[in-house]
Amino acid sequence: MAPAIVQNISSRLHRMSQSAADKENYTQREDEKTKLAEWEAEKRTLEPNEVAQSPDEKPVGHSSKYLRREDFDLIKTLGTGTFARVWLAKIANRKEKDNNKVFALKILRKVDVIRLKQVEHVRNERNVLASVAGHPFITTMVASFQDSDTLYMLLDYCPGGEVFSYLRRARRFNEATSQFYAAEIVLILEFLHDRQGVAYRDLKPENILIDADGHLKLVDFGFAKKVDNSKNIFGAVLNFDADTKTGETYTLCGTPEYLAPEVIRNTGHGTAVDWWAFGILIYEFLVGQPPFWDQNPMKIYEQIVEGKVRYPSAMSQDARDIIGGLCTVDVSKRLGNVKGGSATVKAHPWFKNIDWDAVYHRRMQGPIVPHLKSADDTRNFDEYDAEPVHRDPYTKELQSKYDQSFADF
């Protein structure tokens, strides 16, 4: 904990040197911190129509002008993804009663974001997370903020860890477990596609977390993107990312084993890519590895474009049928993307035992409920190397070129 103490002291020193204007901000900050703690106590998820409200009216998802890095103690690294580091965080200088209030703080360095060409993606991530905040199966972004060289997203902490860890440990899930998790994911995709017009584009077990009650939370909206179905000129099924006039663009992105054929072939893509990936995910749940794999990624892509899924002999007919329907190369025939959309997936026989209303309202008991010693227990997360000391500086030059793009973060 030594570093945390040092941070506290330095943040106190920092505060003492603040001007009058900053003192006013100080009260605002304290105010925000109190609200954070209050929200954490209940972590109330919202009904679909509440989620749809604008972020200004919701209790969560706003861009904070007052919060700072110094308002949090970073306890431990929970994960390092492709672009970011995520920390278990507590409110700094907290009152005793707020000791068990925990968050996950996703930290992105602006230099890295620029170097990895993720500027547009990070903006999408923040905006999508803000507009979906409150959904029962999506990690809630409580607030976002930034300082001169870093972007922060404050998320609710999902203490169960990644579904990935459980899956690798168990080797594979049985059919009931797979159905339970798949059902929650169907509701996520239904919500993202039909209510939000968002394609998620990076579905995989690494990005699916388990919360304290054993339910799923989707994290990492780094590739999520609004694809306006109603008025765009390219259509939703095959979407080049909405309106070209506003300078919107198209990107190959995702995870090799989960890429849809239309992404590989660069013929334009939309929400249908998530249904493809969902088929791969069910397969990986049931079998323990995805259907298309090779040491050489080009060979994976060749298999994907070919689209022939091979099933283990013991797999049930219904499971084969739903995977086959989802992993259909022709998007106009892909389950989930045909007339009826997500409803056709929900109506599939593989889900015949699922009560969808009970799923949404979290009335079903999950197969894995994490047992924690305390709210800040991180036993379900791996150990990660410390952050490298050397960091490329966010130069004045970069600043003048890019700060505009981060302005509303």
Partner 1 sequence: MSLPSEYLNERNALEREILKHRPSDVLQFSYNHFSKRLESQRQEFILGQRHSSESGTGLSNPFGGTSAPSNKKVMNSTIREEEEHDDFASPTATSFPPNARDNSNNMASNSSGGGGFGNFGNFGFSPSSGSSSNPPPAASSGAMEHPQSFPNNYNMNRRTSVSAESLAPTSADDSNWKAPQYPKTADQVNRLRDAVAHNFLFSHLDDDQTAQVLGALQERKLPTKDMRVITQGEEGDYFYVVEQGQFDIYVSKSGKVEPGADGMGNKVATNGPGTSFGELALMYNAPRAATVVSTEPSVLWQLDRVTFRRILMDSAFQRRRMYESFLEEVPLFSSLSNYERSKIADALETTKYPAQTPIIREGDVGDKFYILESGEAEVTKRGEAKPLKHYGKGDYFGELALLEDKPRFASVTSTTEVKVATLGKDGFQRLLGPVESIMRRDDPRKNEKK
Ligand X SMILES: Nc1ncnc2c1ncn2[C@@H]1O[C@H](COP(=O)(O)OP(=O)(O)O)[C@@H](O)[C@H]1O
Which stretch, 31-39, 68-76, 333-341, 401-409, contacts partner 1 (CB under 8 A)?
333-341
Q: Which residues bind ligand X (CB under 6 A)?
A: 78-79, 81-84, 86, 104, 106, 139, 155-158, 162, 206-207, 209, 219-220, 222
CA-CA distance, 17 to 160, in Å (whole number)?
41
Q: CB of residue 383 vs ligand X: minimum separation in angstroms?
A: 12
The listed partner (partner 1, Mg ion, ligand X, none) that binds 253, CB under 5 to 8 Å by sort, is partner 1
Q: How many CA atoms lie within 13 A of 106 on its CB side?
A: 26
Using the rule CB under 8 A, is 219 a contact of partner 1?
Answer: no
- The minimum distance between CB 118 and Mg ion, in angstroms, equals 12
Question: Is 106 known to sit in a ligand binding site?
Answer: yes
Query: What does the alpha-carbon distance between residue 363 and residue 39 come to, in Å, rounded to a whole number?
Result: 22
What the block records as the tokens of 134 is 């409150």
Rule CB under 8 A: which of 165-204 touch partner 1?
A: 165-166, 168-172, 174, 202, 204
Question: Which residues in the 93-152 window bind partner 1 by CB under 8 A?
Answer: 100, 117-118, 120-121
Residue numbers annotated as active site:
202
**Tokens encoding 275:** 């249904």
Nearest distance from C-beta of residue 193 to Mg ion, angstroms: 20
Report how far residue 314's alpha carbon sits from residue 287's, in angstroms, rounded to the nearest whole number. Answer: 10
The bridge status of strand 85-91 relative to strand 102-109 is antiparallel
Contact track, partner 1, 255-274, x by CB under 8 A: xxx------xxxxx------
- CA–CA dist 276, 345 (Å, integer): 12
| Other beta carbons less than 10 A from residue 56's beta carbon | 9
Residue among 38, 47, 147, 306 that touches partner 1 (CB under 8 A): 306
Among partner 1, ligand X, Mg ion, none, partner that 104 touches (CB below 5 to 8 angstroms by kind): ligand X
Closer residue to ligand X, CB minimum distance, 88 or 264: 88
- By CB under 8 A, residue 238 contacts partner 1: yes
DSSP string, 369-403: ----SSTT--TTS---PPPPS------HHHHHHHH
Q: Smallest distance from the beta carbon of 126 to ligand X, in angstroms? A: 12
First to last CA, the chain: 30
Pick from 188, 181, 274: nearest CA to 223: 274
Residues 213-242 that bind Mg ion (CB under 5 A): 220
Which segment (5-13, 126-134, 347-355, 366-374) binds partner 1 by CB under 8 A?
366-374
Three-class secondary structure of residue 181 per DSSP: helix
Instruction: Specify whether the CB–CB gap between 113 and 398 falls below 8 A.
Output: no
Select the span of 20-28, 141-149, 245-253, 387-395 touching partner 1 (CB under 8 A): 245-253
Q: Contact region for partner 1 (CB under 8 A) — 21-29, 31-39, 285-293, 352-360?
A: 285-293
The secondary structure of 113-166 as a DSSP string is HHHTT-HHHHHHHHHHHHHHTT-TTB--EEEEEE-SSEEEEEEE--TT-BHHHH
Site for partner 1 in 35-64 (CB under 8 A): 42-43
Report, in Å, the least distance between residue 219 CB and Mg ion. Answer: 7
If we measure between CA atoms, which residue out of 191, 184, 181, 189 comes closest to residue 47? 191
Residues numbered 236-295 forming contacts with Mg ion, rule: CB under 5 A: none
Q: Which does 78 bind (CB under 5 to 8 A by kind): ligand X, Mg ion, partner 1, none?
A: ligand X
Contact 175, 162 (CB under 8 A): no
| Binders of Mg ion in range 73-92 (CB under 5 A) | 81
Partner whose binding site includes residue 231, from partner 1, ligand X, Mg ion, none (CB under 5 to 8 Å by kind): partner 1
Q: In this structure, are residues 241 and 249 in contact, taking their beta carbons and an 8 Å threshold?
A: yes
Q: Which does 237 bind (CB under 5 to 8 A by kind): ligand X, partner 1, Mg ion, none?
A: partner 1
Name the helix (H) or strand (E) containing 176. helix 175-190
| Interface residues toward Mg ion, by CB under 5 A | 81, 207, 220
Which residues are known binding-site members for ATP? 106
